[in-house]
Amino acid sequence: MSENVRVDLVEGVCRITLDRVAKKNALTRDMYKAVADALESAATDDAVGCVLITGTGGVFSAGNDIGDFQKAKDEPQQQHSDSARIYGCLPTYPKPVVAAVDGLAIGIGTTLLLHCDIVYCSTAARFRMPFVDLGLVPELGASMLVPALAGRHKAAELILLGDFFDSVTAEQIGLVNKVLPPEELGDYALSVCKRLAAKPRTAMRLTKGLLRRGAEAVHEQIAAEMVLFRQQLVSPDVQAIMAGVLKR
C-alpha cells in the first residue's frame, strides 16, 4: 500500500483518498498500484457497498507524475501494469463509484471521472485534458466517452485545445452531477455513498450492468488508446517535452 493513498471503510463505503499534497496528488506507480488494489478488493468485499474516490489538500489529482512518465522509456511494461488494472476494472465495476473533486483534476484526474457513476465537485474545481500538449493521446476511453458526453465539437475543443475548464462547464456537459461549496463537498459525497451502500446489493449490481451495456466497446477503445499512448510516451519528442515540464 502506498503512503500516498489512504483507504478506509465508513458504513459500507470504501473511501480511497489520494494524499500526496506536496505534488498536488499526482499519481506515481505506487499510487496506481494502491488504487488498483483497493478497487479490486472492494469489488469482492461484502462489507463494501459503494466506493468513494477523493483527494486531499484542496486538490483531486494533477494527473500522472511526470517523473514516472520519463521512466517509461526504460521500463515500459512495468510502468503501465498497475494503471492497466484500473483501466480494466472500471468500465464494468460491479459497485457504484462516486467521486468528490476539489481543486485541480488534470489528465487522469479528469478521465477517471468518466467511469464514475456519480461525480460531485466544488466551485473551486478545475479540469484539463492536456494530452496533445504533452505529445500524447487521450486515455481511459476519453476519446470515445467525452464525445458521447459532450458532443463531438465540444469534445474536440476540450481535448485538442486542452485548456482548463471550470465547474460550470463540467456540470453543463454532464461530467459532474452537482457543484458544491468546497467545505460541503466531502460530507455531501459521503452521505450519498452511504445511501448507495445501504441499497440491495444484487439489484445495484444488475442495474449497474444494464447502465453500462456496451462496455466492450469502451474496453476496445481503451486498448487502442493505450497502444498509441505507449508508442508516443517512449518517443524522443515526448520525452523532451516531459523534461521541459520538469524544468518548469
**In the structure grid, which three cell numbers stand for residue 206, read together?**
444488475
Mean pLDDT in each 10-residue stretch from start to end of the chain (248 residues)? 92 98 95 96 97 98 89 61 90 97 98 98 98 96 97 98 98 98 98 98 96 92 94 92 82
- The sign of the CA dihedral 208, 214, 216, 222 is negative
Total domains, the chain: 1
Q: What is the pLDDT of residue 46?
A: 96
- The sign of the CA dihedral 222, 228, 232, 233 is positive
Q: What is the pLDDT of residue 75?
A: 62
DSSP for 25-66, written as a single string:
TPBPHHHHHHHHHHHHHHHH-TT-SEEEEEESTT-SB--B-H
- Residues spanned by the domain of 30: 5-184
In a domain, 239, yes or no: no
In a domain, 47, yes or no: yes
pLDDT tens digits for 193-231? Answer: 999 999 999 999 999 999 999 889 999 999 999 999 999
Cβ(151)–Cβ(158) below 8 Å: no
CATH (domain of 134): 3.90.226.10
In a domain, 118, yes or no: yes
3-state secondary structure 141-164: CHHHHHHHHHCHHHHHHHHHHCCC
In a domain, 235, yes or no: no
**In the structure grid, which three cell numbers stand for residue 19, read together?**
494524499
In a domain, 136, yes or no: yes
Q: What is the pLDDT of residue 78?
A: 53
In a domain, 72, yes or no: yes
Which residues, at least 6 apart from 224, have a Cβ–Cβ distance to it below 8 Å?
A: none
In a domain, 52, yes or no: yes
**In the structure grid, which three cell numbers stand for residue 26, read together?**
499526482
In a domain, 110, yes or no: yes
